[in-house]
Amino acid sequence: MEMLKNKVALVTGAGSGIGRAIALKFAEQGASVVVSDMNEDGGGQTVAMIHERNGIASFFKSNVSVASDGEALVNESVSKFGALHIAVNNAGIGGVIAPIAEYPIDAWEKVISINLSGVFFGMRAQIPKILGFGGGAIVNISSILGKVGFSGSSAYVAAKHGVIGLTQNAALEYAAKGIRINSVGPGFVKTPMVEKTMTPEALKELIALHPIGRLGEASEVAELVLWLCSDKASFVNGAYYAVDGGYLAR
């Protein structure tokens, strides 16, 4: 049975990595998916992959750090597929690696604008639409670094901690109105963002931080997000779920 049959979902940052895996999983489970990304080529590839599997999807270019783009994205979802029931705020960047006293101000502002303000702008636009179609679910992608620190990544860590708090607050405000809002904290996952920025030696050290002995797969994160957005998670709200191979248990 398709877990998201007759649902309309949007996924930001769906042109690659975790966002793509979520979009593919949603479509596989019956949802009509609006794939959003700044990368038109990547987003188009995700849509093509969904179509190859007989799924329903369309692409819409959107910059999550621009509030008006968040509004345009939800309007596109309704215009294209007639409703909005599910949103996944996944778009994010890693940012500069530097100690706090040397962290560039412009780099800080860019990470916060995309990774934290982008989630706020997204929910601010998504919630009224989802309410208008009878309720649904939102998942915000945080990180294991939303719970602990990571030397050199102050902006990313601050933003991802903020995503968890923002998620909890939104969950309190809209639980009684019919929207469940949760966050997911992936460990380090094999995505282009990780693979492009890591030397082989650094990658080995990173793997060693995960007791399970490997990095995660984007599809493993997608399975958790699917469950949270489905009726199977009907009593789950305001929660943070790590999917991290034991990283946080160390």
Q: Which two tokens stand for residue 33?
A: 């998916």
Quote the pLDDT of residue 56: 98
Pick the CATH number of 8-249 from 3.30.70.980, 3.30.70.360, 3.30.565.10, 3.40.50.720: 3.40.50.720
Sheet strand arrangement including 179-186: 56-61, 32-37, 8-11, 86-89, 136-141, 179-186, 240-243
Quote the pLDDT of residue 193: 66
**Cα 144 versus chain centre, distance:** 13
| Dist CA 164 CA 184 (whole Å) | 9
Q: How many CB atoms lie within 10 A of CB 167?
A: 26
Contact 11, 40 (CB under 8 A): no
Quote the pLDDT of residue 197: 73
Residue by residue, DSSP assigns 228-244 as: HHSGGGTT--S-EEEES
Strand segments (E) across the chain: 8-11, 32-37, 56-61, 86-89, 136-141, 179-186, 240-243
**Domain limits, the chain:** 8-249
Q: How many CB atoms lie within 10 A of CB 1?
A: 5
| pLDDT by residue, tens only, the chain of 250 residues | 799 999 999 999 999 999 999 999 999 999 999 999 999 999 999 999 999 999 999 999 999 999 999 999 999 999 999 999 999 999 999 999 999 999 999 999 999 999 999 999 999 999 999 999 999 999 999 999 999 999 999 999 999 999 999 999 999 999 999 999 999 999 999 876 677 777 888 889 999 999 999 999 999 999 999 999 999 999 999 999 999 999 999 8
| Dist CA 74 CA 65 (whole Å) | 15
Contact 146, 164 (CB under 8 A): yes
Is 103 annotated as catalytic?
no
**From 156, 174, 241, 247, active-site residue:** 156
